[in-house]
Amino acid sequence: MEINYKNIKVIGFDADDTLWVNETYFREAEEAFCKLLLEYETPNKIDQELFKMEMNNLNLYGYGVKAFVLSMVESALEISNNNVSNKTIEKILNIGKNMLNKPVELLDGVEDVLKELSKKYRLILATKGDLLDQERKLEKSGLTSYFHHIEVLSDKKEANYSKLLNHLDVQPSEFLMIGNSLKSDVLPIVNLKAHAIHVPFHTTWAHEEVSENETNGKSYKTISSLRELLKILN
């Protein structure tokens, strides 16, 4: 079924892994974390325990690097039965600091697409994560001037998006969300009768994965590059 985007007035962009690289750095950090704890468990078990800890802490800590670091510290204590050394804890903290200091690597075509679309549409940034970290990345990206509004959400569920659309005074039929996550950027949006376009990233956090049953019957488009937006929307 062909999707009509003629009524779109506002376009929302996810940030991490839609505009710039993010998940790659988390995978690198997990590998470094595993190496620190190999004397206690296998890499597979360490990965499983860390993910379980992240899920247990999600409602308390939220998303982002700082929440991830806290979960790594807790996992290290649990996996080692509280025998992990202060030096190892320090190395875990340094993993987090290194993540926060990573350069912002824009994905292909991002600035060209934002520059072109900003001439016709009101663009907003709608991302989740740690406020300070996301503000830092946005500043480093050099993309701030393209966005009419910037929103760092505690989560990306239907209620969060409804509140955002009300704040922007835009109808669901006038809103289009662009993002790499079906769970966070697409399904909640189409459930609100708004529009969404999925731009997959090569790495997906397990928490963001969805089943085929969840996407069946949902109306959205998938593209391989942000550059395709210019053909679809212009």
Residue with the bigger pLDDT between 208 and 113: it is 113
Tokens 């016709």, residue located: 120
Q: What is the pLDDT of residue 131?
A: 85
Q: What is the pLDDT of residue 194?
A: 94
Q: What is the pLDDT of residue 205?
A: 55
The DSSP line for 104-168 is: --BPTTHHHHHHHHTTTSEEEEEEES-HHHHHHHHHHHT-GGG-SEEEEES--SHHHHHHHHHHH
Q: Cα–Cα distances in Å, from 214 out to 19, 156, 164?
A: 25, 16, 23
Estimate the share of the chain in helix, then strand, then coil, as percent rounded to the nearest 5: 50, 15, 35
Q: What is the pLDDT of residue 18?
A: 95
Asked if residues 188 and 196 have their Cβ atoms less than 8 Å apart, the reply is no
Q: Please give the average per-residue pLDDT across 15-22, as a whole number.
A: 93
The confidence band for 217, taking pLDDT boundaries of 50, 70 and 90, is low
Torsion of CA 131, 55, 178, 173, to 10 degrees: -100
What does pTM read for this prediction? Answer: 0.87
Q: What is the pLDDT of residue 91?
A: 98
Q: List pLDDT tens digits, range 118-159.
A: 999 999 999 988 888 889 999 999 999 999 999 998 888 999
| CA–CA distance, 100 with 109 (Å, rounded to integer) | 24
**212 pLDDT above the threshold of 70:** no
Q: Amino acid letter at 186?
A: V
| CA–CA distance, 193 with 174 (Å, rounded to integer) | 10
Average confidence score pLDDT of the chain: 91
Q: What is the pLDDT of residue 132?
A: 87
169, burial (CB in 10 Å: exposed 0-12, middle 13-18, buried 19+): exposed
- Give me the domains of the chain, ranges plus CATH numbers: 10-20+105-233 (3.40.50.1000), 23-100 (1.10.150.240)
User: Lowest-pLDDT range, 50-64, 87-101, 196-210?
Assistant: 196-210
- For residue 199, how many C-alpha atoms fall within 13 Å in the half-sphere facing its CB? 22
**206 pLDDT above the threshold of 70:** no
User: Lowest-pLDDT range, 155-169, 183-197, 217-231?
Assistant: 217-231
> How many residues in total does the chain contain?
234
Tokens 């595993």, residue located: 34
The confidence band for 32, taking pLDDT boundaries of 50, 70 and 90, is very high
**160 pLDDT above the threshold of 90:** yes
Q: What is the pLDDT of residue 189?
A: 94
| CA–CA distance, 231 with 227 (Å, rounded to integer) | 8
**171 pLDDT above the threshold of 90:** yes
Asked if residues 162 and 195 have their Cβ atoms less than 8 Å apart, the reply is no
Q: What percent of the chain has pLDDT over 70?
A: 92
Q: Please give the average per-residue pLDDT across 92-102, as a whole number.
A: 96
Q: What is the pLDDT of residue 213?
A: 63
- C-beta neighbour count of 192 within 10 angstroms: 18
Q: Amino acid letter at 155?
A: D
